[in-house]
Amino acid sequence: MPGLLPLSKYSSVISLTTPFTPPPIPTGTAATAALDSALSHLWSDYRRRNGQRAAALDIEQIDLSQKTSLLRQLLTVREPHPPLPANVLVDVERTLQYINRKKALTAVAALPVVLPARPKIALWRGDITALSGVTAIVNAANERMLGCFTPGHMCIDNVIHYAAGPRLRDDCAKIMGLQGQLEPNGKVKVTRGYLLPARYVLHTAGPQVPKRPAGVPRVSEEEKRDLEGSYWSCLEAMEDLQIGEGESKSVAFCCISTGLFGYPPEEAVNVAVDTVLAYLDKNPATSIDRVVFNVFTATDLSLYIDKLNSLLPKPTITPALLTPPATTSPSLELAAKWLKSAPNLLITAGAGLSASDGLDFTSHDLFRKNFQGMWEKGFTCLYDFFGYDEWESPAAKWGYYFCSIIFVRGWTAPCGVDNSVYTHLRKLITALYGESGEKSANLFIRTSNADGLFFRNGFSADRIATPQGTYELLQCMRKCRPDAYWPVQEFIDKAMPYLDTVANAIRQDIDGWEEAIPRCKHCAGEMFLCVRGGSFFTEVPFVESNRRYVEFKRRALKEGLVVLELGAGFNTPGVIRWEDERLVTVGEGRVKLVRVGLGGSEAVEWDLEDGERAVAIDGDAGKVTRSLVELLTTE
């Protein structure tokens, strides 16, 4: 194609074959200073570019999570010209090195083979920037090839550029400057990976597929050829990449052109797999040892499993088979060391723990599949109903709530019970306190989740506190009497003859449907789930469990304590996050916090890490817990 720049024309310009040596990982105190310095420059530059319309930045007035979020946004919107001053670049990279070291990494060599006749093929669900030992990862770029410029947008383009650091965009700008035109669909440009575990990044612009009228093919032949071209071009580029002596050559593909680019995922998976297999068949002497299909959502994982199973005589690939290998990081190893010597263990958990088990209250795919009636009304996820009070009728309200309670109470992890995060937690407790460890006085569990998954997975009720309530009870909203709460099952039994579980509604065309609407047995007043959603919430059912928690805490603060916090985000930080941090503060060195989370929720104050009073692990709660179990049980 005229004007298209081949690798040979830009490789030396970006020093592609020169190994990149990242700066050493700083201490938490040094990383904080580097972060503050970088933010001062980036914010001043942002104000200058925007005519001083943005307010001046007072770094002392914002906390760490806000600082790291601001850094991500400022790097996202930064144009590559002029380049960052050398000292600022160093500050940014030192900060990112400190942040990246918290990631729980998965080794590409440990990924299981999914097609026995095709041992080069692997399928893995996870963060592509946390795949270690991989030669190259594929970035689904756009025609500008400079990365995404939308702050807060969690596309793969943004994720990869942030983890790699600003040199990645700088290299892309050099390449595109030489090329002098936008990148056509289906081609590839190669850069170094910089701060990524991957040595290289393959940037490819896949086709953008518009919505088309019913009856018209969703994808044109040209768009299909362009997507095939993206996969083929990346594989061809891999052949020219240098690796060290004795190393294997591997590439991880993200899902190209799906998402905002509109390519139907169920059709894109066929293109991806068929093109890769066709390339390997045509090139039996290929230098590529491993091709990883990397997915991020449960829906994409299911699509790839179905596609790969269709290539087997008998379907054998399941989510359980694809259970990721143990992950590793310095943070994980330190956490395991603390746990081994912990006199007492407090497990605290938020919504991220349930999400790790597959019960993600923010998942559109999960909601669309299981709540058809509400999806058709415009609702998109379970979380939409938190605080929702615009019901058209009590029948509509309770039709949904009964369906959702039944759904949550019947939840089974898609990966299978043996691979559930709760199974790994029980193994962790057993490793520390023996077979009866779940009843040990040295253990307590405190969760903001009302879903009851700890109870249904066999944990002792005597060692659990649920300060936000439970879906297992309905209560009188008037709190007419202290005992005005009852098990939800009796109300579900009463409603079942009238409940349409497809439409998620109480059927008002059946005589007596009014009996399905819960009423207080004492005052006949309105009822609701016994969850902390307002002043109506009754604390009475939870007084005893909270008392046991206070007793445990009082003793553990004297003896020593490790707090293992799993998936506690920022929606209700006062319930889990701030309480855990307070324990570290008042513990006078006897309390250590292990915080596990994703998307910044893993953050702890960096000075606490310097003092080995806290450690952050950026990773999925299930994968991290499994890895901790392996570290605890391996001599």
In the beta sheet, which residues pair with residue 294? 124
For residue 561 the two structure tokens come to 């304590």
Say if residue 2's pLDDT is above 50.
no
Q: Is residue 255 part of an annotated ligand binding site?
A: no
Say if residue 151's pLDDT is above 70.
yes
d(CA 432, CA 435): 9
What one-character-per-residue DSSP string does 561-578 give?
A: EEEEEES--SSSTTTTHH
The confidence band for 304, taking pLDDT boundaries of 50, 70 and 90, is very high
Say if residue 534's pLDDT is above 50.
yes
Say if residue 332's pLDDT is above 60.
yes
- Give pLDDT tens digits for 566-598: 999 888 889 999 999 999 999 999 999 999 999
Residue, of 211 and 400, whose pLDDT is higher: 400
Q: What is the dihedral of CA 563, 567, 569, 572, to 10 degrees?
A: -70
Say if residue 409's pLDDT is above 60.
yes
Amino acid at 262: G
Of the candidates 250, 136, 155, the one whose C-alpha atom is nearest the C-alpha of residue 193 is 136
CB 457 within 8 A of CB 422: yes
What is the CB neighbour count within 10 angstroms for residue 90? 15
CB 495 within 8 A of CB 437: no
For residue 580 the two structure tokens come to 């855990």
Identify the structural domains of the chain with CATH numbers, from first to last. 7-15+105-309 (3.40.220.10), 28-100 (no CATH), 326-359+416-470+532-635 (3.40.50.1220), 361-410+485-519 (no CATH)
For residue 281 the two structure tokens come to 């068949």
Say if residue 635's pLDDT is above 70.
no
- Give pLDDT tens digits for 22-62: 999 999 999 999 999 999 999 999 988 887 666 778 888 88
List CB contacts of 126: < 8 A, sequence separation 6 or more: 106, 294, 296, 324, 620, 623
CB 385 within 8 A of CB 321: no
d(CA 297, CA 545): 36
Preceding omega of 82 cis (within 30 degrees of 0): yes
pLDDT of residue 3: 54
- Give pLDDT tens digits for 333-361: 999 999 999 999 999 999 999 999 999 99
Q: Kindly report the backbone phi and psi dihedral angles of residue 447, in degrees, each rounded to the nearest multiple of 5, phi listed first.
A: -135, 145
d(CA 176, CA 179): 5
Of the candidates 465, 464, 442, the one whose C-alpha atom is nearest the C-alpha of residue 552 is 442
Q: Which residue has the tokens 């309480």?
A: 579
Please give the order of strands across the beta sheet that includes 485-487.
Answer: 485-487, 469-476, 527-531
The confidence band for 322, taking pLDDT boundaries of 50, 70 and 90, is confident
> How far separated are the first and last CA of the chain, in Å rounded?
58
Give the DSSP letter of residue 4.
P
For residue 348 the two structure tokens come to 């605290």
The confidence band for 419, taking pLDDT boundaries of 50, 70 and 90, is confident
d(CA 441, CA 433): 10
Q: Which of 1-5, 429-433, 434-438, 584-588 shows the lowest mean pLDDT across its residues?
A: 1-5
What one-character-per-residue DSSP string does 342-408 give?
A: -SSEEEEE-HHHHHHTT--TT-HHHHHHH-HHHHHTT--SGGGGTT----S-HHHHHHHHHHHHHHH
Distance of CA 12 to the CA centre of its chain: 37
d(CA 624, CA 617): 8
Q: Is residue 155 part of an annotated ligand binding site?
A: no
pLDDT of residue 104: 92
For residue 7 the two structure tokens come to 């690798």
Of the candidates 552, 556, 550, 565, the one whose C-alpha atom is nearest the C-alpha of residue 588 is 556
Maximum distance among all alpha carbons in the chain?
82
Q: Which residue has the tokens 């054998």?
A: 316
Helical packing angle, 167-179 and 156-164, nearest 10°: 110
Q: Long-range contacts of range 168-171, CB-CB < 8 Å, 24 or more positions apart?
A: 168/192, 168/193, 168/194, 168/201, 169/78, 169/80, 170/80, 170/83, 171/14
CB 371 within 8 A of CB 379: yes
Q: Is residue 476 part of an annotated ligand binding site?
A: yes
pLDDT of residue 324: 63
Of the candidates 122, 126, 128, 124, the one whose C-alpha atom is nearest the C-alpha of residue 140 is 128
Say if residue 363's pLDDT is above 90.
yes
pLDDT of residue 325: 65
Burial per residue of 256-268, b for 16 or more beta-carbon CB atoms within 10 angstroms, e otherwise: bbbbebbbebebb
Residues 244, 322, 296, CA angle at the centre, nearest 5°? 80
- Tell me the pLDDT of the chain averaged across its residues: 94
CB 25 within 8 A of CB 101: yes
pLDDT of residue 416: 79
Burial per residue of 449-471, b for 16 or more beta-carbon CB atoms within 10 angstroms, e otherwise: bbbbbbeebebeeebbbbbbbbb
CB 191 within 8 A of CB 172: yes
Residue 391's Cβ-count burial label (10 Å; 0-12, 13-18, 19+) is middle
What percent of the chain shows pLDDT beyond 70? Answer: 98
- Name the most confidently modeled range: 316-330, 409-423, 444-458: 444-458
Say if residue 155's pLDDT is above 70.
yes
Residue 440's Cβ-count burial label (10 Å; 0-12, 13-18, 19+) is middle
Please give the helix or strand (H or E) that residue 96 lies within, else none: helix 86-100
pTM of the model: 0.91
The confidence band for 290, taking pLDDT boundaries of 50, 70 and 90, is very high
The three-state DSSP-derived secondary structure of 36-95 is: HHHHHHHHHHHHHHCCCCCCCCCHHHCCHHHHHHHHHHHHHHCCCCCCCCHHHHHHHHHH
List CB contacts of 318: < 8 A, sequence separation 6 or more: 305, 416
d(CA 342, CA 335): 10
Q: Is residue 234 part of an annotated ligand binding site?
A: no
